[in-house]
Structure 1
Amino acid sequence: MSHIPKLLVTGLGNVSYPGARNSVGHLLIDELASRTGISLSHGKRGFAGEGIVTLGQTPIDLTLYKCKFGQLKRVGRPLTAECRERGIRPDMLVVMSDSIYDNPCQLRHCFGGSAYGHDGVKSVIRALGTSDFYRLRLGVGRGVHPSMVLYKFLLYEHISGQLPPEERQFWNGDGGGLVCNAIEKIARAVIYKIEEGVIEEKYARDAIEIEMMAQEEDILPQEVKD
């Protein structure tokens, strides 16, 4: 392959609830860092590290990032700033998030589409101005049936509850391997787009618009400015 694809992989989570189901994205970033040897450093927007790694048979210029702010609905702006700073376009972004619509220990990946009600993914779409990025949905189940009394309360209790030991073991083991395989597939798709000239044509104008937005307003939340 003539191109080394560049990807930024981020895991959504809530730093106020470490080890919770809705922080499984953070768990996977730590697992990927361990597997690839990428060291995560603390910065103004969170924890990030970069390196040339090989997943399967595919070399990748890989950045790992996790936001340090607690509210999922605010992760979009810091992530957008991180992408802009590192030259990452939307189609080079992979967002890992918990999914109540998938069974525990189940992985789904897709490109674009709905946020499926996830506040963090909604925030990313809103900040980027597009839904055209890759998603890895990490199944945590919902724990309760939608018809149950106090469904929303019980659902919140479920996703903010601690990830069971067997699920943590899965994502630190076989599940982590599945995530690596999925990232390799995404990297190969990016290589294909580069070689076919799709990326430059589709995203050149988007990159200019994002840069203009960044110049017009400070895209970091107040917590970052402080």
Structure 2
Amino acid sequence: MYIIVGLGNPTREYTATRHNIGFDAITRLADEYDIVLDQKKHKALCGSGYMGGQKVLLAQPQTYMNLSGESVRELVDFYKIDPTTELIIIYDDISLEVGQLRIRKKGSAGGHNGIKSIIAHLGTQEFLRIKVGVGNKPDNWDLADYVLGRFPSEEQPIIREALGHAAKACECIITEDVASAMNLYNKKA
């Protein structure tokens, strides 16, 4: 079984913001694989189904970004999965161009508070992650204002395509392996 977690903030005011790209990826996965997100458990909105013949649980933590680790820890413990091989975290990355994906097996938080929380709660930096580029903040912008802002209309098609690639990358990780997904999707947008 795989658990795929998309990071974001739960209230309506954060819908479709750069920081909620993880939530958007989970919604895309749910749509593409006919998984209904209708279960509230482990501090997350969840739905279970199948991808490539493998059982998956999709989750959107409802704890706010900075506390995402609480939900992830509960999910890992309850389902008794190995977080180093059966957990995939999808989240925004300001160091990548808009729409660019970067898949990694491990790494630091890189300043991302949701990832910091997950590392603290799991006690390891070793878990699969799919970073979705949201672009670097413009000069003279506050970082919080930037990541909590929405994509301009000209970037929306790029983001829709990136979400499709993120969904396919998840399936590739599950049905093949992470190296194959990295070879296919770790390139410029």
Query: Normalising to structure 2: TM-score of the pair?
Result: 0.84
Which digits, 9 at most, give the CA deviation of each residue in 1:169-190, with x for residues without a partner? 4343x22331133213322227
Q: State whether structure 2 residue 155 is matched by structure 1 residue 160.
A: no
Structure 1 residue 166, shift from structure 2 partner: 4.1
Contact 1:7 1:88 in 2 (8 A): yes
The size of the alignment, in residue pairs, is: 173
User: Is residue 11 from structure 1 mapped to residue 6 from structure 2 by the alignment?
Assistant: yes
Cα 1:132/1:34, change in 2 over 3 Å: same
What corresponds to 2:51 in structure 1? 53
> What CA distance in whole angstroms lies between the structure 2 residues aligned with 1:14 and 1:180?
20
Matches within 5 A, 1:101-116: 101-116=95-110
Q: Which amino acid in 2 is paired with 1:184?
A: E
Q: 1:116 to 1:124 in 2, by over 3 A?
A: same
Task: Tell me, in whole angstroms, the C-alpha distance in 2 between the residues paired with 1:185 and 1:53.
Answer: 10
Equivalent in 63, 66, 69 of residue 73 of structure 1: 66
Structure-2 residue corresponding to 1:224 = none
Structure with greater helix share of residues: 1
| Rounded Cα–Cα distance in structure 1 between residues aligned with 2:94 and 2:45 | 26
- Selected match of 1:28 from 16, 25, 29: 25
Aligned partners of 1:107, 1:21: CA distance in 2, in Å?
A: 14
Distance 1:164 1:94 in 2: 28
Local SS of the residue matching 1:40: coil
Gaps of 5+ in 1: 1-5, 191-226
Moved more, 175-184 or 31-40: 175-184
- Which runs of 4 or more aligned residues in structure 1 lie more than 6 Å from their structure 2 counterparts after TM superposition? none
Give the direction of change, closer, same or farther, for the CA distance of 1:171–1:7 in structure 2 (3 Å limit): farther
Give the Cα separation in 2 of the matches to 1:144 and 1:176: 23
Q: How does 1:1-226 map to 2 (within 5 A)?
A: 6-16=1-11, 17-44=14-41, 45-54=43-52, 59-70=53-64, 72-90=65-83, 91-145=85-139, 148=140, 154-172=142-160, 174-187=161-174, 188-189=176-177
Q: Does the C-alpha gap of structure 1 residues 168 and 68 become closer, same or farther in structure 2, counting only changes over 3 Å?
A: farther
TM-score, L = length of structure 1: 0.71
CA distance in 1 between counterparts of 2:33 and 2:100 reads 22
- Cα distance in 2 for partners of 1:84, 1:170 equals 36
Name the CA distance, whole Å, in 2 between partners of 1:169 and 1:160.
19
Identity, in percent, stands at 30
Larger Rg, first or second structure (1 or 2): 1
Q: Could you report, residue by residue, the CA deviation over 1:20-50 in whole angstroms, capped at 9, with x for unpaired residues?
A: 1101110111011000001111314121111
Deviation at 1:156, TM superposition (A): 1.5
